[in-house]
Amino acid sequence: MELKVIIIDDEPLAINVLKNYIQQIKELELVNSFSNAVDAYSFLQENEIDIIFLDIHMPILDGLEFLKTLQDAPMVVITTAHEEFALESYDLEVIDYLVKPIPFPRFMKAVNRIMKLKQMNHSNDRNGPHDHPSIFVKVDKKKLQKIYLDEIIVVESLKDYIRIKTTTGKYIIHKTLTSFTDELPSDQFIRIHRSFTISIDKVQVVEGNSVEIDNTRYTIGRSYLNDVKSKILNNSIS
């Protein structure tokens, strides 16, 4: 799935930062960039776009007023130095609100959110049987790896890093288990221990205070026990 992107921002430096970020993600195609919303509006009348990265304070027409003029708007991510417009932006159904300077991991989180929404919409269009949601993780300084959610088995904490074990391989990334778990669908994954998050449907055996996944036994932390057992058993019944 390749998503077509435009940038609307009157700051050349901000445009360059976003261009660099977009170029690192092969599923994103930067189609054009604009220093004002009026030119972008004319472009959108004749071109189909999936994502707009939109600044707020711009000459002639500010980003929020521009957004109000659009019918059937693409997905919009606000990119601004001002935090105070977040509530108004979400009322306009923006996907995310990024405050400058934008760190690359925060940009990635917004892209992952968009990818999930696109995949969900695509799944609904096809009545859902072949949907294959995924997430991007940074596995070295420049490489972004796509991991399909239904291939994830276990995510293990390694202090400031995590190890993601999938049906096709293992990946070590610089991220905490808490932040990564928050990015996963809560109906498919559950934290069972301070060191482990698991895929619920990969559980083969539940016994005492442990689960067995992929022929490996994992201990359930005492504070997680009731919630984990309830969620796993309810999932198997449904």
Residues contacting residue 73 through CB under 8 Å, at least 6 positions apart? 52, 67
C-alpha distances out from residue 89 to 47, 55, 134, 152, Å: 24, 11, 27, 34
Domains and CATH numbers, the chain: 3-122 (3.40.50.2300), 150-237 (2.40.50.1020)
In whole angstroms, give the CA distance from residue 148 to residue 168.
10
Each residue's pLDDT tens digit, 72-113? 789 999 999 998 888 888 888 898 999 999 999 999 989 988
Average model confidence (pLDDT) for the chain?
A: 88
Each residue's pLDDT tens digit, 189-204? 999 999 999 999 999 9
Given a cut of 80, whether residue 49 has pLDDT beyond it is yes
Each residue's pLDDT tens digit, 121-177? 655 444 444 457 888 888 876 678 889 999 999 999 998 899 999 998 899 998 899
Q: What is the pTM of this model?
A: 0.56
Q: Which of 210, 208, 201, 192 minimizes the C-alpha distance to 233?
A: 201
In whole angstroms, give the CA distance from residue 215 to residue 194.
21
pLDDT value of residue 130: 46
Cβ-based neighbour number of residue 77 at 10 Å: 23
Assign 3-class secondary structure to the chain. Answer: CCEEEEEECCCHHHHHHHHHHHHCCCCEEEEEEECCHHHHHHHHCCCCCCEEEECCCCCCCCHHHHHHHCCCCCEEEEEECCHHHHHHHHHCCCCEEEECCCCHHHHHHHHHHHHHHHHHHHHHHCCCCCCCCEEEEECCCCCEEEEEHHHEEEEEEECCEEEEEECCCEEEECCCHHHHHHHCCCCCEEEEECCEEEEHHHEEEEECCEEEECCEEEECCHHHHHHHHHHHHHHHHC
Given a cut of 90, whether residue 217 has pLDDT beyond it is yes
pLDDT value of residue 144: 80
